[in-house]
Structure 1
Amino acid sequence: MKRVFLLATVLFFAVQVHAQEINWVSLEEAVALQKKNPKKIMMDVYTNWCGPCKMLDKNTFHNKDVVDYVNKNYYAVKFNAEGDETITFNGQTFNNPQYDPAKANRRNSVHELARHFSIRSYPTIVFLGESAEYLTPVIGYKTPRQLELYLKLFKNDDHKDFKSQDDFTAYYNAFKPEFSE
């Protein structure tokens, strides 16, 4: 009886942990999925050595509210901005010709795709529209509630109404977060 209880407990927690994961896909997969079911793309641009990137992954990307919202409304991409992956995006091939495998967990050369999106700091979350068009980067570590603002802003296309920085400031000031911290 104790073994059955122990097994049930382990399975329960395994399901709970698994249920709180974002469904990460490659950029190529996200663009292909957009053709069948249009959604925006949220791309986490990180590096292996970046402390705030690890905090974003642990604290924000494992928050149940963030996970549920992202999985429902976005295609999520995790992209190592100093990795050696070859990526085809919008008819172009991007790679990292200066990549040094000996520096895999230290500062390395910057991937061509990161340069394409003008990424200069980590973490950066890049938002792409339903046709993979570039919307904007969101730079730096964000708590679940801070990220919620951007997730909802782009999901609802509220950004299209902004004519100036003042419009974003008004949106920011009026925003009422619902996600748990």
Structure 2
Amino acid sequence: MKFLAFVLITIPLLTNAQDKGIHFINRLDWDQSLAKARSTNKLLFIDCYAIWCRPCRFMNDSIFSNQEVADFLNKNFINIKVKMDSAIDGYQDGEDKQANVDMIKKKYQISAYPTFLFVEPSGELVYRIVGTYESPESFIKKASKALDQDEQYFFLLEQYNSGRRNPVFISRLIVAAENSGDKVMANKLKKEYTPE
């Protein structure tokens, strides 16, 4: 009888423990990940990291371990971790997974770690964050911009390329370019639109 009572008390605790933390899906290939995003009507959140990267470890240990961050990401995104330095990790055939990693690196121009991508179910990049954050709150604030089209760098860039040039818009675009790691565009805009 004591054993049965122990089991009945322990099972709910184990179930709750499994629900905590960020639900990263790593066992799906790229097409399956996009399909899951389509079926749930969510963006993909992709943590592009390298094992040797100290800022990546900081994000994993200090920011992603926070329950508030986990709750925010789990509610709003399909979460994926992609190890960029070596794809062979036992989840699927190493060669196939390396092809996915190479495609992500090239398509989304990953040049620094950590890089966090926010991708539409169509595969279109809508927002990027490069670097680390000092607090869970600052990361949530930054990541929430991926859900607001008026803050999405690539949407703003599309408007710029269509001719939008008012000063308030240009200021927002400069900040979005810097936050997305597009220093070339940020510097170009600063040079063109900042009074001397």
Q: Report the 3-state secondary structure (helix = DSSP H, G, I; strand = E; otherwise coil) of the residue aligned with 2:81.
A: strand
Look up the match of 2:63: 60
Look up the match of 1:48: 51
Structure whose alpha-carbon radius of gyration is higher: 2
Q: Residues 59-104 of structure 1: CA distance to partner in whole angstroms, max 9, x if unpaired?
A: 11121111111111101110011123425xxxxx9357xxxxxxxx
- Rounded to whole Å, the distance in 1 between the matches of 2:119 and 2:59 is 19
Shift of 1:28: 3.5
Structure with higher RCO (Cα < 8 A, 6+ apart)? 1
Structure 1 outlier segments of 4+, above 6 Å: 2-13
Answer yes or no: is 1:69 the counterpart of 2:72. Answer: yes
Q: Which one has the bigger helix percentage?
A: 2
Which residue, out of 147, 155, 161, partners 1:155?
Answer: 147
Which residue, out of 133, 136, 144, partners 2:124?
Answer: 133
Q: Residues 33-82 of structure 1: CA distance to partner in whole angstroms, max 9, x if unpaired?
A: 12322111110000111111111111111211111111111011100111
Q: Residues 92-141 of structure 1: CA distance to partner in whole angstroms, max 9, x if unpaired?
A: x9357xxxxxxxxxxxxxx4421321111111101112422112321111
Matched letter for residue 150 of structure 2: D
Number of residue equivalences: 151
Equivalent residues in 2 for 1:1-181 (5 A)?
14-15=14-15, 17-25=17-25, 26=28, 27-84=30-87, 85=94, 86-87=96-97, 94=99, 111-142=102-133, 143-159=135-151, 163-166=169-172
CA RMSD of aligned residues (A): 3.2
Aligned identity (percent) is 20
Shift of 1:23: 1.3
